[in-house]
Amino acid sequence: MKNRIFATLLTFICAVTTLFAQVERPKLVVGLVVDQMRYDYLYRFADRYGDDGFKRLLREGFSCENTIIPYIPTYTAIGHSTIYTGSVPSIHGIAGNDWIIQATGQAMYCTQDDSVKTVGASGKVGQQSPKNLLASTITDELKLATNFQSKVIGIAIKDRGGILPAGHFADAAYWFDSKSGNWVSSTYYMQKLPDWVNKFNKLKLAEKYLKQDWNTLYPIETYKNSIQDDNEYEGKWAGEKSPTFPRKTSELMKDIGLELIKTTPQGNTFTLDFAKAAIEAEKLGNNPTGHTDFLCISLSSTDYVGHRYSLSAVEIEDTYLRLDRDIADLLNYLDKTIGKGNYTFFLTADHAASYNPRYYTDQKGNGGYLFLRQIQRELNDELTKKIWSQGLDKKGIQLSGTPQPQLDRFVKSRRTSR
Residues 330-355 pLDDT 10s? 999 999 999 999 999 999 999 999 98
Of 25, 55, 305, nearest in space to 157 by CA: 305
| Continuous segment of H or E residues that includes residue 225 | none
172, 128 contact by CB (below 8 A): no
Residue 266 backbone phi and psi in degrees, to 5: -65, -20
Euclidean distance between CA atoms 342 and 26, whole angstroms: 5
DSSP, collapsed to helix, strand or coil, labels residue 44 as helix
Euclidean distance between CA atoms 385 and 381, whole angstroms: 6
Please state the length of the chain: 418
Domain at 27-362: CATH architecture:
3-Layer(aba) Sandwich (3.40)
What integer is the mean pLDDT of 200-208?
98
| Continuous segment of H or E residues that includes residue 100 | strand 98-101
For the annotated catalytic residues, the residue numbers are 76
Euclidean distance between CA atoms 392 and 408, whole angstroms: 15
Question: For the segment 82-131, what is each residue's pLDDT rounded down to a tens digit?
Answer: 999 999 999 999 999 999 888 888 899 999 999 999 999 999 999 999 99
Question: For the segment 37-66, what is each residue's pLDDT rounded down to a tens digit?
Answer: 999 999 999 999 999 999 999 999 999 988
Task: Give this prediction's pTM.
Answer: 0.86
Query: What residue ranges do the domains of the chain occupy?
Result: 27-362, 372-416
Handedness of CA 131, 132, 133, 135 (dihedral sign): positive
Euclidean distance between CA atoms 409 and 352, whole angstroms: 43
Of 276, 263, 286, nearest in space to 200 by CA: 276
Of 39, 25, 42, nearest in space to 327 by CA: 42
By DSSP bridging, strand 98-101 and strand 106-109 are: antiparallel
Question: For the segment 227-247, what is each residue's pLDDT rounded down to a tens digit?
Answer: 999 999 988 898 888 889 999
**Residue 390: which pLDDT band, with cuts at 50, 70 and 90?**
low
